[in-house]
Structure 1
């Protein structure tokens, strides 16, 4: 474990300790050449990527394939995971600590990509925005509701181009669904179902007690970042962290931004009004249930209510289902036809009809599916070149153009409220494990089987205060969000 103490990550400290010498510059960022909004002759966006293994690898490739991004800096706490990206971009300077990268190289960077575990998204992204860097953050935008609200406001305050990594927001599918809805093909919608076969990692399990040696290539202290200190456990890295509340946001965080983005965009939804949930339980034997509050549940069904919008006649209810749970098959769908994409999907129920799609809103269809070819509506929404694969190039182009000059599909002003909704669903799930001691000494769980009422302005649940502890978590000592 590294013994290095975290440095203050404020903008003041970055500027004070940042490198100022021009000697040795391999790449000159655009603003150095001519100020904000200036497009360099090379027309290249200088990108620093934090978290370059796994999904980070494909993110970097996506930016590079745009032809207008220079992958200049790579940063990862795990040399094993970084290896592929380091080999692919041998000229990029490599760091383990993103704070050192920002301190030393902030004057050489135009934009930052963040693809770390969820619990460190906000602190890295916010620090980059304070330095006036454009930011791309993988989904979900943040780990906590409070963090999502802060990043949403910061994007506007610092006037930087932002994009969340839910590629389906740039796909043709969601635009086709929206054109059908806007044309009145399925009428008014008040109910939407979204479902996934995730998790495909362990959930609903106790924290392992066996201690494991930290791999020499991994800086465990840096990986933990804002999370409470715990001893390293086997197989947590690089993927199984998703099932633990200290680091991940479960199946909702992994797939919710891909599946709930479409109803958000189509119905113009924003913040949640109320939420309730039921969760799958684990049995230790035929008579005994086990609850592991550190771990996300193996399955859940969450019901979220959104206030009426200009696109709807009343409130909208979204049902989220994970762990392989699916809604009842619509009667208009043939017995051998695939529901959604098989494991995942979305279903809009309207007063005049229904429509469905798979992950990323791919393969949009009207029901019965024969209507898909029979119904023709004008194309009113411009497509993103390359569809969902063009999500990366779209952000690169918008960064080059400058803040407010080009549209992006998932700016934080949209991604923030979407992420908050997902985290509200998780708030309800976590409420199931809140305990109280009764007068007779027995334990009760008051958060189960209740509806949480959300005060959006004050960012708190009004009828069950114990769950508000999860709206804004306490960071580990030495870490803080912003100045």
Structure 2
């Protein structure tokens, strides 16, 4: 999502806007259902079989999300919203009939009777507020990963999906891939025994992290509404190159490498092992050097690398606790002994997930692609009953699955990454980030003990400030 200039217009601060944000009390009006038999015609898609979507965030990943919804043949892109006209240009050209807004609050206020669902593809810090208020209007929602910026927000959206009975999906497409289902079947068939340890790793960040906040720039691009881009985040002067991508490395807006790749790589352990909420976490992080001898200290920015260890309680699919290692910044686990000296891990080598069981190992790359048993020759001959239905199109079918689910209605179909599943997954990743921030506050590694019901760390209160942050006036999020 993009923005324009720093000055706030009267529209964005009017009493009606403020009241809308605070209450989320607008009532959603249903659209007319016209039975197919009234309209007739072979191949005709009746209005009752079309989903009218409002896309908040029309550039970058939002652009591809919107295009994929349209490819389903059952979605009409009715509205587009983006704070940066430059980023929205391609989507506006592709869907010229879609009415365009810069402020999602204005769009919701004026058009809530005219769309059925919302796609949210903005920086992490604005996910929850845009999504939650859509849900209060009775709108189905598709939200890019990570689901939210903070743990409290993830819990809020998980509960809101049930309360407002809307169809939800998080944009971690690998959840619809065959790989997650295949590895689940291998595990259930006892091909690798009981898994006790999992490694997930990524070559991210591929954006600047562990650096000093840049000097402000006086000239905000005329196409960008900077104030709207900041949204829930603290008011700051415009800096160059933060938009559209480098925001990921700053705690006010992004969630670092975990936020970018965690949902893709940790999805498989959640499905295969049935894990949900971690009970403790600890982290070590890479140091930053401003010159050859002096360590830098930049608490506003995520570290350049980290190794995080989460402990998940025993589930009905494990015999004991599961230890999950997260590694980023190019750190990787020890090479499995079952791999030959010249064998590659396969798939996208910069990212992967490795399961270690009592009888063997298996791994996959990003989106759970290239699912493989170790030694590799076991894969071709592996036999396991198929227990999980495949999603047509795999990762690409993730979008159509949500569209079909919305048309069918709440509770009618099971989705790969509904908030019921995506919420706990996101919370685990954000809890891992608590350990990263705890390392910063403590000046070294500390194990954080987690009370899931109270939603707080019990042994180091300083990190609890990051579970639910303060929101900027005009962009408050209240349950």
TM range (shorter): over 0.9
Instruction: Determine if the alignment matches structure 1 residue 2 to structure 2 residue 16.
Output: no
Asked if 2 retains the 8 angstrom alpha-carbon contact of 1:141 and 1:419, the reply is yes
Q: Which runs of 4+ in 1 moved over 4 A?
A: 10-14, 39-42
Report the Cα offset of residue 457 of structure 1: 0.5
Asked if 1 retains the 8 angstrom alpha-carbon contact of 2:24 and 2:136, the reply is no
Report the Cα offset of residue 33 of structure 1: 3.1
1:149 maps to 155
1:15 maps to 26
Report the Cα offset of residue 283 of structure 1: 1.4
How many residues are paired up?
458
2:225 maps to 219
Measured in 2, the distance between the counterparts of 1:322 and 1:394 equals 31
Report the Cα offset of residue 34 of structure 1: 7.5
Measured in 2, the distance between the counterparts of 1:448 and 1:365 equals 37
Measured in 1, the distance between the counterparts of 2:420 and 2:31 equals 24
Segments of structure 2 that go 5 or more residues without pairing to the other structure are 1-5, 36-44
Report the Cα offset of residue 455 of structure 1: 0.6
1:257 maps to 263
Instruction: Determine if the alignment matches structure 1 residue 481 to structure 2 residue 452.
Output: no
Instruction: Determine if the alignment matches structure 1 residue 240 to structure 2 residue 246.
Output: yes
Change (3 A) 1:13 1:148: closer
Give matches, 1:359-374, under 5 Å. Answer: 359-374=366-381
Asked if 1 retains the 8 angstrom alpha-carbon contact of 2:22 and 2:477, the reply is no
Segments of structure 1 that go 5 or more residues without pairing to the other structure are 19-28, 435-445
Give matches, 1:55-74, under 5 Å. Answer: 55-74=61-80
TM-score, with length taken from structure 2: 0.93
Post-superposition Cα deviations, 1:440-483, rounded to whole Å, max 9, x if no partner, equal: xxxxxx25221000011001101000010001010112221146
Measured in 2, the distance between the counterparts of 1:41 and 1:70 equals 10
Q: 2:431 aligns with which of 421, 424, 427?
A: 424
Measured in 2, the distance between the counterparts of 1:392 and 1:353 equals 34
Asked if 2 retains the 8 angstrom alpha-carbon contact of 1:307 and 1:315, the reply is yes
1:438 maps to none
Measured in 2, the distance between the counterparts of 1:451 and 1:91 equals 53
Report the Cα offset of residue 334 of structure 1: 1.5
1:347 maps to 354
Report the Cα offset of residue 338 of structure 1: 1.9
Asked if 2 retains the 8 angstrom alpha-carbon contact of 1:269 and 1:309, the reply is yes
The root-mean-square deviation of aligned C-alpha atoms, in Å, is: 1.7
Q: 2:292 aligns with which of 286, 293, 299?
A: 286
Give matches, 1:1-400, under 5 Å. Answer: 1-4=6-9, 5-6=12-13, 7-8=17-18, 9-10=20-21, 15=26, 31-33=31-33, 41=47, 43-339=49-345, 341-400=348-407
